[in-house]
Amino acid sequence: MKARLLAAFVAGLCLTPAAMADVSGPAGTVFENDAHLKAQLSNTSPNKIVIEGELITRVTGPDGAFTQENTEDGALLITPLTGQNFTLFLETANGIGASLDVTPKPGSGHTLHLIPASAPLKANPDAKAWEESQPWEKTLVSLARTVVNGGVPDSYTEAKAARGPAYNPMPGILLTPERQLVGSHLLVMRYRMKNTGYITRPLSEKQFWQKGVRAVMLSTHNLYASGEGYVWVIFSTATEGGV
């Protein structure tokens, strides 16, 4: 399988060119930075807003429309003081932001669990040095070999898989993020694939390309009905201008 994966990677490498959502409850809602969301909050009991992995440091909204208090772990306790709809603007210490259209209603308080779609990108000079220490194609091949074999590239760090890039290239193939490794110019995602249809789906690396993708490695090129497999995707990051 390793040989097939690497061959598939090399073949794929040659092809490389370089709305408002309802917020759910505690299960969590994934959102892009600066997204426009909407939610119902109790105006008779406190509500809690959590942005996973972040500290909410700024809340902006109409004067006198709500009370607010931050918890020790950076979440926000908020109670609307009006029955009229209004908009909140939330910002975190890492620059993650969102606007929230609030519909106040009497009743029990709600917990809103918001999950940023991408992990905060931090300077990683050691990973940067490794990525730039050899020709770019060799960096990608080395990165591919390492992650397909379950390893961690030099100086890369683990990040929550749920906070990987927004990525859904193929209808009918469900991708579940399982691992994210972050470098400087690049990050790697491992997804579990599942064929949600009733017929076998032939797969090729080209089907998984979209803007920002640098390489794709598949564990199989045929996914049977309800069958599963893996795909590893190397993305460019926005750090230091990307590559």
The tens digit of pLDDT for each residue in 8-27 reads 444 444 333 334 555 555 55
Instruction: Locate the domains of the chain by residue range.
Output: 2-18+120-241, 33-116
Mean pLDDT value across residues 49-76: 94
Residue 53 pLDDT grade (very low, low, confident, very high; cuts 50, 70, 90): confident
Contacts of 44 (CB under 8 A, 6+ apart): 106, 107
Q: DSSP code of 121? A: P
Q: How many CA atoms lie within 13 A of 11 on its CB side?
A: 12
- Decide: 174 and 208 in contact? Cβ < 8 Å: no
User: Would you say domain 33-116 falls under CATH 3.40.50.720?
Assistant: no
User: CA separation (Å) from 210 to 23, 72, 216?
Assistant: 27, 40, 11
Residue-wise pLDDT for 179-234, tens only, equals 999 999 999 999 999 999 999 999 999 999 998 999 999 999 999 999 999 999 99
Q: Are 205 and 162 in contact (CB under 8 A)?
A: no
Gap between the Cα atoms of 73 and 137, Å rounded: 43
